[in-house]
């Protein structure tokens, strides 16, 4: 009797090497480009579907239970790294912001928080020249030059390293650097965003440091508010907290539990995207929830952070709150921190005014701002070139840590 083998009526799972890392106040799943299934190594539907399944989206329950996401914009993130073929760069960094509820990945911007993990991950994945890593042990810092593919910009990560007992240079991940929004201390990673604004474009896309922004129909008490529109790090719309009916000390529960308020804020974001030239009309905002960001600023004031920690007005220059993917961010997006640094160090913007910059003839070069989880110090250098404002460099300190290295499993028919 001949025995026949029937084909299974289900799709087996495939495994792909992956690293799960925290970078700043975000977490993401990191891949080496060459480890991805061949059809996922190029942009397209297969790659997007693969990454969506990894993270567990789209999820109408909003929890991403069947993937590595955690129902938060801060953890619904993917990164693809590869050796850079660009001169004077070590690694290419491609970021994908995965929508939680929709089958969509936004490739339009960078994640500043996960940027802090890119250098360390690239070293651990063997993507950085071995001789460069070996010699970096002499001063304890490996300078990783990153090409951020989403926005076409250079970022420098100063990754701490040490020589282990076997004589091998390793990334230092633990330490005593404390980052508000992250429970445990870790090693400090200094990040420099080089020329975050194209030399051919204006950092302020409207040509003004402050505009009268039409917000009619958005449910505010006025049809027009003052706004600073800036493209540095990530396109961002800054408004005064008081003009929006806020104090600037809001926590997530004050905003994210109010569905009507979230709708109003999304309407404002859509209008701002049109003003900045990012959308042809407001409806286009539905296809790009990653950009622009909206934020509100206020003068320094005391409040209790989400952890209960007291933030004193004397310890900060201003307060800032920002929305990310339709929710108030639990701390501050790294790219929005770049925008804050650039705007705060440009005299005449709303951010600079909130930081007290209008009270001094000297241009600010760094500010410490209060956010829902605590505070963050950022530095910047801006100047006018041929009548256009340019940010030459923005810097900040973050930390990063590997949480898991192994394989992620995805059903073979998912992509």
Active-site residue set: 111, 333
Give Cα 23 to chain centroid, integer Å.
Answer: 10
CA distances 23 to 142, 154, 189, 385, Å, are: 17, 18, 10, 33
Place of tokens 């992620």: 408
**How long, in residues, is the chain?**
415
Q: Do the Cβ atoms of 169 and 197 come closer than 8 Å?
A: no
Sign of CA dihedral 56, 408, 94, 141: positive
SS3 category, 177: strand
User: Which tokens hold the place of 208?
Assistant: 């003004």
- β-sheet bridge partners, residue 367: 378
Residue 119 CA to residue 372 CA, distance in Å, equals 27
Residue 186 DSSP symbol: B
Handedness of CA 96, 98, 104, 109 (dihedral sign): negative
DSSP code at position 230: E
CA distance 164 to 251: 42
Q: Is there a contact between 29 and 16 (Cβ–Cβ < 8 Å)?
A: no
């Amino acid at each position: 009797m001949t025995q026949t083998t029937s084909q299974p009526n289900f799709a087996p799972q495939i495994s792909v090497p992956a690293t799960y890392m925290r970078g700043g106040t975000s977490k993401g799943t990191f891949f080496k480009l060459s480890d991805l299934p061949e059809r996922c190594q190029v942009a397209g539907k297969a790659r997007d579907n693969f990454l969506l399944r990894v993270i567990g989206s789209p999820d109408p329950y909003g929890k991403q239970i069947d993937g590595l996401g955690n129902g938060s914009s801060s953890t619904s993130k993917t990164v693809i790294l590869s050796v850079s073929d660009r001169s004077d760069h070590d690694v290419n960094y491609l970021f994908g912001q995965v929508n939680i509820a929709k089958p969509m990945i936004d490739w339009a911007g960078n994640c500043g928080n996960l940027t802090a993990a890119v250098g360390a991950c690239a070293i651990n994945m063997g993507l950085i020249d071995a001789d460069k890593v070996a010699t970096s042990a002499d001063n304890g810092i490996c300078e990783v030059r990153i090409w951020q593919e989403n926005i076409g910009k250079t970022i420098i990560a100063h990754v701490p390293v040490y020589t282990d007992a076997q004589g091998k240079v390793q990334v230092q991940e633990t330490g005593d650097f404390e980052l508000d929004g992250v429970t445990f201390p870790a090693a400090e990673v200094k990040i420099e965003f080089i020329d975050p604004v194209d030399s051919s474009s204006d950092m302020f896309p409207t040509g003004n440091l402050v505009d009268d922004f039409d917000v009619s129909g958005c449910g505010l008490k006025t049809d027009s508010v003052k706004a600073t529109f800036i493209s540095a790090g990530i396109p961002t719309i800054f408004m005064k907290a008081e003009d929006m009916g806020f104090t600037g000390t809001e926590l997530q529960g004050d905003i994210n539990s109010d569905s009507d308020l979230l709708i109003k804020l999304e309407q404002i974001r859509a209008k701002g995207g049109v003003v900045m030239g990012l959308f042809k009309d407001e409806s286009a905002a539905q296809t790009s929830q990653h950009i622009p960001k909206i934020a509100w600023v206020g003068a320094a004031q005391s409040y209790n952070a989400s952890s209960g920690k007291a933030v004193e007005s004397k310890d900060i220059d201003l307060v800032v709150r920002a929305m990310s993917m339709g929710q108030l961010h639990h701390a501050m997006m790294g790219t929005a921190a770049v925008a804050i640094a650039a705007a705060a160090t440009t005299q005449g913007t709303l951010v600079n005014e909130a930081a007290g910059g209008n009270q001094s003839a000297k241009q600010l070069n760094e500010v410490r701002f209060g956010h829902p989880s605590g505070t963050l110090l950022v530095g910047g250098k801006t100047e006018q070139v041929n009548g256009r404002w340019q940010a030459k460099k923005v810097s900040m300190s973050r930390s990063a840590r590997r949480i898991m290295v192994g394989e992620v499993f995805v059903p073979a028919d998912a992509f």
